[in-house]
């Protein structure tokens, strides 16, 4: 456990940052699952309706620094390609 005052503060800050990051990651994970579910059910129109929400959250996560820019681009392109296939 931290001993110095600054280390204790850094620990508190890291807990807060972790909580915020998990919120973003859970939103992304849930939306990706939703879109993939629509793809598996062969409902491309509903998947396309969900796509803007997913793109918005992915872009925001990249902007804030939770996910890297190239990871977001890869996820977006793979999901768009999967929707176009079905």
Q: How do residues 64-84 score in pLDDT, each as one tens digit? A: 999 999 999 999 999 999 999
Half-sphere exposure of 28 (CA within 13 A, CB side): 21
Give the rounded percent of residues in the chain with a pLDDT score beyond 70: 100
The model's confidence at residue 36, banded by pLDDT at 50, 70 and 90, is very high
Mean pLDDT confidence for 52-59: 97
Q: Is the dihedral of CA 34, 40, 46, 49 positive or negative?
A: positive
Number of structural domains found in the chain: 1
Mean pLDDT confidence for 43-61: 95
In a domain, 7, yes or no: no
- Residue 86's pLDDT is 84
The CATH number linked to 76 is: 1.20.58.110
In a domain, 70, yes or no: yes
pTM: 0.85
In a domain, 8, yes or no: no
Structural domain span for residue 42: 14-85
In a domain, 3, yes or no: no
Cβ atoms of 21 and 66 closer than 8 Å: yes
What gap in Å lies between CA 58 and CA 70, rounded to an integer?
Answer: 11
Cα distances (Å, whole numbers) of residue 59 to 7, 10, 42, 73:
32, 27, 26, 9
């Amino acid at each position: 456990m931290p001993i110095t005052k600054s280390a204790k503060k850094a620990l508190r800050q890291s807990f807060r940052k972790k909580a915020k990051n998990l919120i973003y990651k859970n939103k992304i994970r849930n939306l990706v699952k939703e879109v993939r579910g629509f793809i598996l059910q062969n409902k491309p129109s509903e998947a396309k309706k969900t796509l803007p929400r997913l793109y918005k959250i992915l872009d925001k996560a990249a902007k804030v620094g939770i996910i890297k820019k190239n990871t977001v681009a890869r996820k977006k392109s793979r999901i768009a390609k999967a929707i176009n296939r079905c």
